Amino acid sequence: MSKNNALPALILGGLLCIGLIMLGNTVGDKLIKMKAMERTVTVKGLAEKEVRANVAIWPIRFTEVSNDLTQLYQSVESKTAKVVSFLKQQGFSDDEITVALPAINDRQAQGYVDPNVKYRYSAAISISLYTEQVDLLLSTRSNMLSLAKDGIAISDQDYNSKAQFLFTKLNDVKPEMIQSATQNARQVAEKFAKDSDSKLGKIKKAAQGQFSINDRDSNTPYIKKVRIVSTLTYYLND
């Protein structure tokens, strides 16, 4: 190679080296910044709210016995009508009351007759009340004892006879609770950032938890506790 061609090649090589060095420094700075951006903190935010049930389902059950099948049917019809009439007097409508067919049991048909069983036939009667008048249902339950004078013993102690209370208006409280859970999570993240001599950055990732609805306690099943836990990840800055 001649001296005339060597000089431009040398200059070009030098410029390329300088460019590569500058490029390396730039990429290095970006990598350092990206690594700094990877500093994060993941926190959970809790929101709870007590609400009253807006729907109640009450299976009203009682039993009739007799040795005469015809008499049993008549007694079932009479007492069922009295229970339905009682519910209407309390303020419930026909649309809220459902009467199921009675379940008749012939104890002699089972092949073995217990000598201690006094009545051959028994009938299990079930009347279901589905209503949004929760407070009315609560007051009605305390008045059911008045049916005893007509010989109707309502069973409400076993599991299948207990009233169920539901809260079906979750969408009405969702936005408020999600906002509250997010604010709670941010407070926790800010406390962490302060304790670690950092500044809280933007949200990197957020995950909304599942809503849960449970009884507040066993004595007041018509009061529900709605709960949600949200998980958020924030960037931490120096």
Residues 106 and 7 in one domain: no
Q: Are residues 59 and 161 in the same domain?
A: yes
Statement to judge: residues 26 and 85 lie in one domain:
no
pLDDT confidence of residue 15: 53
Q: Domain with 217 in it: what CATH number?
A: 3.30.110.170
Co-location of 49 and 98 in the same domain? no
Residues in the chain, pLDDT under 50? 20, 23-25, 27-35
The tally of domains found in the chain comes to 3
Q: Are residues 227 and 211 in the same domain?
A: yes
User: Rounded CA gap, 61 and 74, in Å?
Assistant: 17
pLDDT recorded at residue 191: 93
Query: 131, 165, 199: which is the final residue of a domain?
Result: 165
Instruction: Mention every residue, 6+ apart, whose C-beta is less than 8 A from residue 198.
Output: 39, 236, 237, 238
pLDDT of residue 156: 67
Q: Verify that 208 and 147 share a domain, yes or no.
A: no
The tens digit of pLDDT for each residue in 124-156 reads 999 999 999 999 999 998 888 888 888 888 876
Question: Are 183 and 151 in the same domain?
Answer: no
- Report pLDDT for 157: 64
Same domain, 141 and 186: no
Residue 76 shares a structural domain with residue 158: yes
Domain C-terminal end among 124, 146, 165: 165
- Tell me which residue range forms the domain holding 14: 1-37
CATH number of the domain enclosing 67: 3.30.70.2970
CB 12 within 8 A of CB 197: no
How confident is the model at residue 30, as a pLDDT?
42
Q: Kindly state whether residues 71 and 145 are assigned to the same domain.
A: yes
Predicted confidence at residue 27, as pLDDT, reads: 42
Q: What is the pLDDT of residue 19?
A: 52
145 and 196 in a single domain? The answer is no
Give the domain-ending residue among 120, 147, 165: 165
